[in-house]
Structure 1
Amino acid sequence: MSGEHHGFGEHPPETAPERAAEAAFDAVRTTVGSPVLFAVVWTALASGIYFSLGVVADHALGLTPVVFLIASGFFGLATMTYVEGASLHQDKGGSTVFARYAFNELWSFIAGWAVLLDYIILIAVCAFTATNYAAAFWAPLGRGAVEIAAAIAVIVYVAGGTIRGFQSTRARRLIVIVVADLALQLALVVVGLAIFFDGHVLTSDIHLGSTPKWSDAIFALGVATVVLTGLESASGLAGEVGVRRAGLKRLVASSTAFVVVIYTGIAMVAVMAIPAVRSPKPLDDDLLNAPVLGIADAFHQEWLRSGAKYALAAAATVTLIGAANSAMLGLSRLGYSLSLNRQIPSAVGRLHPTRSTPYVVIVLAAVMAIVLVIPADLDLLVGIYAFGSLLGLTIAHASVVRLRFTEPDRRRPYAVPFSVPFKGRSLPLPSVLGAGLAVLAWVSVIVFHSGARYVGLGWMGAGIALYVVYRTTQEKSVFQRITVPEQALRQVARPQEVSYGSILVPLMGSPLDDDIIQTAGRLAGEEHEDFDDEEGAVVEALWIIEVPMSLPIDARLPDGQLDQARAALRRAKAVGEEYVGVEVATATIRTRRAGQAIVEEAQRRGVEAIVMAAEEPSRIRGGARLGGRGGPRDNFVGEITKYVVAKATCPVILTAPPTDDAISSRAPAED
């Protein structure tokens, strides 16, 4: 791809810290901050062991530690892929965003729809499991109608909190909870290994093919991918968290190390401390639904047994509710992204009038999570979760690999290591390996788990059918990106269809920049003159910087050139938003060829028109052969304009090229 974005998001940086970051090209833009990223990732990681250990052990038996160790490798590969993808394209949505830029909108929807199922399942699983750990304080919470009612209450609480909005105070509370829980889990591993370690016990009951069966071991490996919990939620914060390149590397290393130590360590302790885990007989409900409490019950000393039981029960309950919060946060952002890109009806992604959260998506997800909780079948829920997780992971890996070939020059704040040259590009071997393993694990889940097979495939089939019907009835392409302005998600009623979801306006410092912004504003305003003021079109103003081949595409630009870009974009925003119902979004693009960048950005952003000033033809004298003015009539504009008109897939509206009189009569745009 020829274009390179400066900054992440739609608007140019305006504060001093952001300008410094842009100059250095070494930071991911922030409006929320890295504590939220920490809270989302680590809350999900800390909670996964509480609900996955029982289901994995019920199938893998004594092989449980090995299964979690292999799953930790899965997690390491996935983390590298997600961090590169999220830092490359900083839109909300995770793997659905990767697939959008790597393939097309249909594959983007498939990834998003699979992950949407995962979020719903995860909310249900966390709410259900939290009640079983809370039963350590009051036994009825772990069985019957009280168990279901408590789980439903947790889901309602999480949905209400997400509609109100994820505030910084909640992030700080989550961080405190996560740190305390991680310390407690690490202590459990250390104390448990010190008391129960027995190498013979670890291996004596493993007889591959019979105890456990190959089918059970393979399925358990697929289920163990719950360690991937949180990657989608965290990548959904792309564009809103500020983590430097070194911080991204530390995130990959530290989270992978945590999964290896905690998940594998607790699994080893469980196998040695609880004989039932090694037995081919199914686990009873208490061990299946609250397995970590089984480890606490195995301690011989009364003070240690009681202390560990209540401490773990309290930590697990709070952490699982926090994980449900994180999952609902990820779901709300994914739902917003799907609605904004017209992959699901805009009415489903409608934003709350005062909280600006997608409350319809949140309410629908809460209802579905409640329905899934009622059967009280953790094995079924985790199996379905593995289906969606592995499908989304496969698409994420494949997308990052393909983006290495389709966007080789785009800046990557983090790049998957261990890449090798392949066909003139860089092939990330960890992502290739991860994609292959994810496909195999996904197939195993379909083959060995009937619930995942029927519910998962049914969910995906219904979703794809609805997507195709929705796009077709709206007379929109199934494969191309189509966006609506955020205001459309705030509208209570839509009298008619929006004709211009967005209009692209490339700026190159021409004296006619104001004119083309005004033209775009009038076009957008005319389409919405009968609408309420809250709804309108988006004018996408882009400042184009052509970088010569003698310089790297990400070479540092002179401060004066960046100041000129910011001033022009601020001017464009001020001029365009004088029109009722028009929002102007701004960005800066680096490119080798301006015409190619304009066409590619128009396709990527899904705009419905391009408005641009036709630049002058070459001033070289000598006729058409030299590109001068003496040639045929097709030379009345320059090469950029001709390229855009010839290659653009949407209407191109041109203003006249500037004349010498116009240039001399216009002063430079004021800041």
Structure 2
Amino acid sequence: MSSLWSKMSRRESPGIYEDKDAHLNRVLTVKDFLALGVGTIVSTSIFTLPGVVAAQHAGAAVSLSFLAAAIVAGMVAFAYAEMSSAMPFAGSAYSWINVVFGEFWGWISGWALLAEYFIAVAFVGSGLSANFRGLIAPIGLKFPNALANTLGSHGGILDITAVVVIGLVAFLLSYGVSNAARVENVLVVLKVLAVLTFIVVGLTAIHPQNYVPFIPEYHVNPDGSAFGGWQGIYAGVSEIFLAYIGFDSIAANAAEAKNPEKTMPRGIIGSLIIAVLLFVAVALVLVGMFHYSLYANNAEPVGWALRHAGHGTVASIVQAIAVIGMFTALIGMMMAGSRLLYSFGRDGMLSGWLGKLNKHNLPNNALIVLTVVGIVVGAVCPFAFLAQLISAGTLIAFMFVSLGIYAIRPREGKDIPMPGFKMPLYPVLPAVAFLGALAVFWGLDIQAKTYAGIWFAIGLIIYFGYGMRHSYLNKKNVTDVKKSAEKAAEKVDAVDYEEKED
């Protein structure tokens, strides 16, 4: 048992990760990371979740759900900023936890994040598809159900729009992050302008009575979930938390950052602040335009609200930009997810093929796997189901990173470089961040927790069946043991020779 525990707890040296990631090109600046973060956070969620969560859980108080989720995400973002500043490695939480807690715990947090990226790619693709179909419907264009919906949903077989856009983003990323970053920067500006346009135009169609009562009376929905009261707001927090997880995509690309000590904290915290302001504003305007109940089961509430308020042209413009802008979320998620898969291959936790770079130093093998899995998941799982599954995996990683601050502080300035940013209110805030992430996780529905449990069971099987034996840390330890044994044998031979000489 002690031998098993020692294997699970073996830690990677920060210097090893620096050497392994040295081939990745450091080309990303603060501007690129702000665009990456805002592009990933302010994505499908801002055009979909405010209406859906208002109708299902929080009513007009949906903005409070967004605000509460932002507070938890903000505390975790402080921990991410310190970690990424001190250890700018590919793989974000997976690599950090490997250094501070050990291989097994790194694998668990990385496996949790992998679920996020697999599902997030499908989720964003699905949301983009819904908005695109809403955009072309007024001009009489409509996909047949078989090509418009996921398998088994409303006669669907394959969401062809989602498949095409995921493939296009993968093709763009296969030519390098600097090219993708330039596209990202332009699209993010357009998307933020679209959001601001909705806010300004929507303010002219506000009906104050839609805010009354601001917090509806609590009752239980037919599916057993909460609606109204603080319980409904809490249920909304758990469902919309996925809106803020995009800052992990910044950290996952830290190995490609210029001056990461300053670039990473500014990119992570800056993008989150911008996103919070936009999310709360959109939520307030949306429920003010129409009664929240009208947004039930509506995957494109922003476009719907503008059209029904008599702003059809603005709706088309905003939705067109929104659809184009959703590419930014796919760029961010697929960049981060492919770097995480690359990290698994780099460390031998999964096939070494995933850890190989092409002649341009890009992890395109990992990108291929992420693309295929994202397409398959998106083809099978409906939009609403994907939303909570994303949050489940991410929250596990967030808890690890929050606690990791306690392990990294004593090592900063020693074997780990002194970071350019430190989490404030230490040692209290890391514990509060951990408890906040735990509370949000606890609020997820039982289905999300069950599937998360199944995902982790699969991860444990892979770790004990493959990762533990094939990891480079294990190979390194085996080599060290052999060298020690050889040295010991040489000493014994030398002693025997001396005795014979005597």
**For this structure pair, what is the TM-score category when the shorter chain's length is used for normalisation?**
0.7 to 0.9
- 8 A contact 1:50–1:292 mirrored in 2: yes
- 8 A contact 1:208–1:214 mirrored in 2: no
1:108-507 correspondence runs (5 A):
108-139=106-137, 144-147=145-148, 148-162=159-173, 164-196=174-206, 198=208, 200-204=209-213, 206-210=215-219, 211-212=227-228, 216-243=232-259, 250-251=266-267, 253-275=269-291, 277-278=292-293, 283-284=296-297, 287=298, 289-300=299-310, 305-347=311-353, 349=354, 351=356, 353-375=358-380, 377-407=382-412, 409=414, 410=416, 411-419=418-426, 427=427, 429-445=428-444, 448-450=445-447, 452-471=448-467, 474=470, 482=473
SS at match of 2:451: helix
Deviations 1:568-588 (A, max 9, x none): xxxxxxxxxxxxxxxxxxxxx
Q: Identify if the C-alpha distance between structure 1 residues 7 and 353 changes in structure 2 by more than 3 Å, giving closer, same or farther.
A: closer
Q: Identify if the C-alpha distance between structure 1 residues 7 and 312 changes in structure 2 by more than 3 Å, giving closer, same or farther.
A: farther
- Pairing 1:49–2:46 present: yes
SS at match of 2:18: coil
Which of 9, 22, 31 is the equivalent residue of 2:18? 9
Q: 1 CA distance for matches of 2:117 and 2:20?
A: 30
- 1:70 Cα deviation after fit: 0.9
Task: Write 1 or 2 for the structure with the bigger share of helix.
Answer: 2
Deviations 1:80-121 (A, max 9, x none): 111111111121111112211221111100111111110011
- 1:243 Cα deviation after fit: 4.5
1:514 is matched with which residue? none
Q: 2 CA distance for matches of 1:469 and 1:259?
A: 41
- 1:293 Cα deviation after fit: 1.1
Q: 1 CA distance for matches of 2:15 and 2:349?
A: 27
Deviations 1:187-239 (A, max 9, x none): 322342354162x5324152342242665433321122123232221111213
Q: Normalising to structure 2: TM-score of the pair?
A: 0.80
- 8 A contact 1:197–1:269 mirrored in 2: no
Q: Identify if the C-alpha distance between structure 1 residues 189 and 226 changes in structure 2 by more than 3 Å, giving closer, same or farther.
A: same
Q: Identify if the C-alpha distance between structure 1 residues 309 and 190 changes in structure 2 by more than 3 Å, giving closer, same or farther.
A: closer
1:103 is matched with which residue? 101
Q: 2 CA distance for matches of 1:345 and 1:328?
A: 19
Identity %: 19
Task: Write 1 or 2 for the structure with the bigger share of strand.
Answer: 1
Q: Identify if the C-alpha distance between structure 1 residues 649 and 418 changes in structure 2 by more than 3 Å, giving closer, same or farther.
A: farther
Deviations 1:457-505 (A, max 9, x none): 111111111111114555x6xxxx628xxxxxxxxxxxxxxx6x6xxxx
Q: 1 CA distance for matches of 2:217 and 2:406?
A: 35
SS at match of 1:204: coil
Q: 1 CA distance for matches of 2:203 and 2:329?
A: 27
SS at match of 1:415: coil
- 8 A contact 1:193–1:269 mirrored in 2: yes
Aligned length: 452
Gaps of 5+ in 1: 14-28, 420-426, 484-498, 502-605, 611-647, 654-671
Matched AA of 1:66: L
Q: 2 CA distance for matches of 1:384 and 1:364?
A: 20
- 8 A contact 2:253–2:335 mirrored in 1: no
SS at match of 1:368: helix
Q: 2 CA distance for matches of 1:197 and 1:344?
A: 55
1:665 is matched with which residue? none
Matched AA of 1:437: G
Q: 1 CA distance for matches of 2:134 and 2:265?
A: 39
Q: Identify if the C-alpha distance between structure 1 residues 346 and 295 changes in structure 2 by more than 3 Å, giving closer, same or farther.
A: same
Q: 1 CA distance for matches of 2:35 and 2:266?
A: 15
SS at match of 2:257: coil
- 8 A contact 1:383–1:449 mirrored in 2: no
Mean Cα deviation higher: 463-472 or 133-142: 133-142
Matched AA of 1:175: N
- 8 A contact 2:198–2:318 mirrored in 1: no
SS at match of 2:147: helix
Q: Identify if the C-alpha distance between structure 1 residues 213 and 158 changes in structure 2 by more than 3 Å, giving closer, same or farther.
A: same
- 1:131 Cα deviation after fit: 1.4
Q: Identify if the C-alpha distance between structure 1 residues 94 and 650 changes in structure 2 by more than 3 Å, giving closer, same or farther.
A: farther
Q: 2 CA distance for matches of 1:39 and 1:55?
A: 26
Q: 2 CA distance for matches of 1:52 and 1:142?
A: 24
Gaps of 5+ in 2: 1-12, 149-158, 220-226, 489-502
Mean Cα deviation higher: 465-474 or 112-121: 465-474
1:545 is matched with which residue? none
Q: 1 CA distance for matches of 2:332 and 2:487?
A: 43
Q: Normalising to structure 1: TM-score of the pair?
A: 0.61
- 8 A contact 1:78–1:434 mirrored in 2: yes
Higher relative contact order (CA 8 A, sep 6+): 2
Q: Identify if the C-alpha distance between structure 1 residues 34 and 142 changes in structure 2 by more than 3 Å, giving closer, same or farther.
A: farther
SS at match of 1:138: helix
- 8 A contact 2:27–2:178 mirrored in 1: no
Q: 1 CA distance for matches of 2:29 and 2:377?
A: 34
Mean Cα deviation higher: 242-251 or 336-345: 242-251
SS at match of 2:255: coil
Q: 2 CA distance for matches of 1:166 and 1:328?
A: 12
Q: Which of the two has higher C-alpha Rg? A: 1
- 1:273 Cα deviation after fit: 0.9
CA RMSD of aligned residues (A): 3.4
Matched AA of 2:61: L
Q: Identify if the C-alpha distance between structure 1 residues 11 and 99 changes in structure 2 by more than 3 Å, giving closer, same or farther.
A: closer
